[in-house]
Every structure is written in C-alpha cells, then in structure tokens.
Chains A and B, each alone.
Chain A
C-alpha cells in the first residue's frame, strides 16, 4: 500500500511573486542553492529521475567560463502534456527556475528547446520572456534565455540528441561519457532540466527544502504533475503527491472497468489490474514523467502494443543497431504472431531481443522500448496471440 494515499497538491501552478523568489535566490550562494536542492531530494521530472541537486553540483564544479542551462521542453512521450500546460500557465516560473539554476551552476545563458508541436505557444512565451528579462534586469541580474524550436522528432527529448538539434544537426544521441555536465550543448558544461523540474526548483527556493520533503516518500519526494488520459471520465492535468499506488490512482481516475494502466508513456511500464494494489507510482515502483494512460476492458492490448511499436519504429533515430532494427523486429514479430504466421513461442525470442535492446542500445530510447513490450506481452500474452 502507498503510504500517502492520493492527495492533490497545488505547487506547480501556484501563483508566486517571481521577483521575490528570485531576489531570495540571487542572495544565496551557488553552494547554498545546490544544498537546498540536494536536501529536497528532488529528482528530475522528465522521467529519468536524476537528482537535480547532483546535476547542478557537477555542472557547477566545471571550470569552463561559459556554461548553459537548458530547459527541455521537448515533451514528446505519448500521453504526456503537462509541460505544455505549465508553459502555458506559468512560464515565468520556468524562466525563474532557469535563472536559479544559472546562479547555481554559474551559467549566464539559458536555452529553452520547445517541441515543434507547441509552436502555437511561442508568441505568448516570447512575450512573457520579454517581461522576465526586464524583471531580472531590474533585480540587477544578468541572465539571458533563448528559444530553440524542434521540428517533430521524439528522440530530441533525449538530452544529447537535443544538443545536436540545437547545434543544427540530426537529433542523434551522443556517446556518454562525456556527460552534459562536462560537455553539453556547444561542447560546454550544461545542466539540462525538464520544464516541471525547473518550476519545482523555484518552489523549493520559495518554500524551503524542508517543506518539500514533507511531501512524497523517501525515494520520491514531493509532488508531481500527471497527464491523465485514455479510458477515464476525467482526463486532464493533475498535481498529485507522490507515493500513491496504481490502485489509488485508478480509484480516482478509472472508469470502473480499468484493466491496465500504462505508466510513463510508450517507454514506460504497463501495470495490469492484478498488480494495481502493490505497485507504487514513483521511483520505488514504476517511475513516470507524468504520463498515465488508462485502458478498460474494451481495449485490445495488442493494438496498444502495436501502436507503441509503430511509434518507436518511426521515432528511433536509426543510428544504433539494436534500436533501429530491434524495433522493426518487435513490430513485425508481434504482427506475425497475431496472424499465426509464426509460433506464439516466438514471443519468447522477442522478449529476449527486448532485453538485449535494453542493455545494448546507445540511448534511453532503445533501452526503454523493452519496458512496454515486456510488461504488455507478459501480462496480456493471450491478447497478443489470439
């Protein structure tokens, strides 16, 4: 059972006076800000969950005079739309988070990489950015943010692919090391943080780490914005305290007939009804960047899996073998199994392939294709075959 149950929170969208928070932040030392983040236990909200304080600490430690803070607004994970809402409603808090991060790591330049699908937001965001620039110059702080626009490529949400894209190249993930904290965009030390993470950092500065740690669990501190969709009477965006079980989530959002929840989007995990009770949404259970999709019993999980695989076949950057060819094999494989053209035991070979993709792919995309594949095939095997 989740320790906390389900409780709604209003932190991300809470109205604050940015000038007041930033003035407070700029008076702190770099170490002070980083300590606050470390104490808060904040983990990245994009999905990977790297501790934000550590990321800033590593970037701060680099001697390079030019550094960057990059806001990852390439929200492409199927089922995730909370960053759009955050940018739409409280972009000043995103900019504020970037300025705080800039202060922490010693960066004077910020880049927001906005996915092309959200271009309609840009005029409004630019206007708000102008006010923000004016406001921080009033505080007497030197920090400048620029926008880079994506053009429809899921993989650019991967940090190093995003850098490639910013630099004008195909969004192909780089080899790591070097990590972004040493060599990120334009080869400079870079802290790249998700939209929501940046807003959260601003709220941590405002309320203090201690207040933040009151929320959530040991492994998953704080609250999180969830994007809820699928078979639910109440689709939308909800900020919830971390630590609930899938059951608690389904009780709130399900339509009474929920048979599975896909947590974390196409690259996440499928939780079947029998595991709702014992699965915690968070880093101790199933991690998520916020995507929560509910499926009721009218849905074919074969169709769900097929849709996801189709997605990856197209959105893989195509450079590394396990991902480029593996995705095609998984898709073709389940199609052939469905049609009865190969034996259903071929699924076992495909699960092994998914495991290879998990350990041998170059980046997080290929490494996570197996998550949905394995959890759907294992839990809904009969739906895949018949």
Chain B
C-alpha cells in the first residue's frame, strides 16, 4: 500500500491548496493509484480544508475520478453510437471472456478493470477503447486479445496515437 498522506501532501504542495487545486490533486492520485480510496479523499479534504462530502461530491461527478476499486489498467470501452454500431458488444464480450470479469469489475490481481464510457472522440476509427489514457482504435476481438495480452506480458503496445505502454 502506498502512503496516501504523503502523496496528497506532495500533490497539494505542487498544485496549491486553493479549491481550484482539487481537480489536479484528485487526478494526480488517480494517475498514480488508479482510483480514489476513502482515505485519500479524507486526506484531500484535510489538506484543502473542505468537507470530505464535498470532495466525494466533486469526484463522483467526474467519470474518470473513480471512487471504487480499479485495477492498474482501466479499460474504458466507448459505448456511444458509432462504437456501438461497429462492434462494441463483441469487444466487451472478448474482454469479459479474457479477463473473467464483467463490466464494472476488477480482476482479482487488481491488474484490469473493464468499464463502459461515453464518446471518447474516435468515432471514425470505431470501435475504440482507452487503456488508462492510451487510445486503441479500429478494434476487432483479435486485436483486443493482442493488446491485452501485450499488457499482461508487459510488452510495448503502441496505441493509435503512437503513445507507448511498456510496463
């Protein structure tokens, strides 16, 4: 487990403790630790001198600021119309079969979560997903298997835009 207090303090020092620092701080926590734990939100509330309900209320407004458990790799499958027309269902099915979890769940080794998300701006290359921030597009079930396998084997998997993941 990470020292949430230290991270929050570090992020608060970096972004400041005014209200407008809340989003960057929460984003920073999610970037490092996949989701916002209860403890992290309490720490943020303390640093910024706002109520924990306010922190939770703000975080829960934003889809990417997850407040429930998420794995190291959050797979966001676009479900909006074009991706939906072009095979989103098969992509989800493939992911669910491969990872043995349902949408909204996280693998027991805390490596992967599958969630659905609204339009991510790749309609011309549907269907599309994001793995953390990296987009993968024009997917087929075969291609998805390849990408996820790559992540599992800690290989370099280049996203649509050229960003690489080597973990």
Contact = CB atoms under 8 A, between A and B. Distances in A.
A–B contact via C-beta, under 8 angstroms: yes
Interface of A: 75-81, 84, 88, 115-121, 148-154, 165-171, 186, 227-231, 235-237, 266, 293, 299, 303-304, 307-308, 311, 314-315, 317
B124 to A, nearest CB: 4
B64 interface: yes
A309 B19 CA distance: 33
Contact of A80 (B62, B79, B121, B135): B121
B143 to A, nearest CB: 17
Contact of B121 (A75, A186, A317): A75
B80 interface: yes
Contacts of B124: 81, 227-229, 235-237
A168 B85 contact: no
A192 B133 CA distance: 26
Contacts of A307: 79-81, 84
Given A151-B62, A299-B85, A77 B119 contact: yes
Contact of B58 (A78, A81, A152, A169): A169
Contacts of A79: 81-82, 119, 123
Given A78-B119, A120-B135, A229-B126, 6 more contacts: A76-B121, A78-B81, A151-B65, A152-B65, A170-B57, A311-B119
A165 B23 contact: yes
B26 to A, nearest CB: 7
Interface string B24-43: 10110010000000000000
Contacts, number: 120
A139 to B, nearest CB: 29
**List of 4 A-B pairs having minimum Cβ-Cβ separation, nearest first:** A152-B63, A235-B124, A229-B123, A151-B62
B107 interface: no
B123 A227 contact: yes
Contact of B82 (A121, A153, A237, A293): A293
Q: How large is the interface on B (under 10, 10 to 19, 20 to 34, 35 or more residues)?
A: 35 or more
A79 B72 CA distance: 29
Nearest to A307: B81
B147 interface: no
Given A78-B119, A80-B121, A230-B82, A120 B134 contact: yes
Interface in B60-110: 61-65, 79-82, 84-85
A171 B125 contact: no
Interface of B: 18-24, 26-27, 30, 57-58, 61-65, 79-82, 84-85, 117-126, 130, 133-135, 159, 161, 163
A117 B134 CA distance: 9
A217 B96 CA distance: 51
Contacts of A167: 19-20
A212 to B, nearest CB: 27
A62 to B, nearest CB: 21
Given A168-B21, A168-B23, A311-B80, A154 B118 contact: yes
A235 to B, nearest CB: 4
Given A80-B121, A118-B121, A314-B118, A168 B84 contact: no
Nearest to A79: B123
Nearest to A147: B24
Contacts of A118: 121
A229 B82 contact: yes
Nearest to B22: A168
A308 B26 CA distance: 29
A117 B23 contact: no
A120 B133 contact: yes
Contacts of A229: 82, 123-124, 126
